[in-house]
A and B are shown apart, each in its own frame.
Chain A
């Protein structure tokens, strides 16, 4: 099973700043099959990125994903107030699919 480790655990930034979230896999993720989700309190997760770098429908272009192999990054270019939330990565390169433990993005 591939273990995903997200860092940092908590990221404190201000609106307008750039956020960089990391997801590291215990072994190479085949075909860059990595997704990112956003979750706000009391809500279901929302798909942001799939295939490591493809934005899901309706996701603003300030969200971007990059990486391959074992190292992946979610970047939010200029933080909006609604971006402060929990973020999870998920690998679907091999079974069983697994999630990272999450990064909390909080307002500084």
Chain B
């Protein structure tokens, strides 16, 4: 059974940092693209970041570029998101999500959907 378990959320002050983790099991982690997707309280879904199976290709949403860093450790079946310079608008539940495959759009960027999601971890940015 595929399982994705996030951890590391909590309350942090504006300008602070937090590191999220996602522990994967039940599948060959090194063979899949992984992502972070967030959902602000009472709001819709927003893709945050993508990392390829090998870690060689990484994308970020414009809203977090330069502040967040995605990484993975295939030996430990683990995905991470380092979040710096946090803002109130970063308050959300953060989900790790697996992409079963990917395609290329007309600009050469990888595009994908999500077949499994973790239960999420809540990040609250407030003073």
Contact = CB atoms under 8 A, between A and B. Distances in A.
A binds B: yes
A95 B109 contact: yes
Contact of A95 (B45, B111, B115): B111
Contacts, number: 67
Interface in B70-127: 95, 103, 105-107, 109-120
A75 to B, nearest CB: 19
Contacts of A47: 113-116
Interface residues of B, number: 24
Contact of B106 (A30, A96, A98): A30
B59 interface: yes
Given A30-B105, A93-B105, A88 B111 contact: no
A63 to B, nearest CB: 15
B44 A94 contact: no
Contacts of A22: none
Query: What's the interface size class on A, roughly?
Result: 20 to 34
A97 B112 contact: yes
B32 interface: no
A46 interface: yes
Contacts of B47: 96-99
A7 to B, nearest CB: 14
B119 A43 contact: yes
Interface of A: 30-31, 33, 35, 37, 43-47, 50, 56-57, 88, 90, 92-102
20 contacts: A30-B105, A31-B103, A33-B103, A33-B111, A35-B113, A35-B114, A37-B114, A44-B95, A44-B120, A45-B45, A47-B113, A50-B115, A56-B115, A94-B105, A94-B109, A95-B105, A95-B111, A96-B59, A99-B46, A102-B44
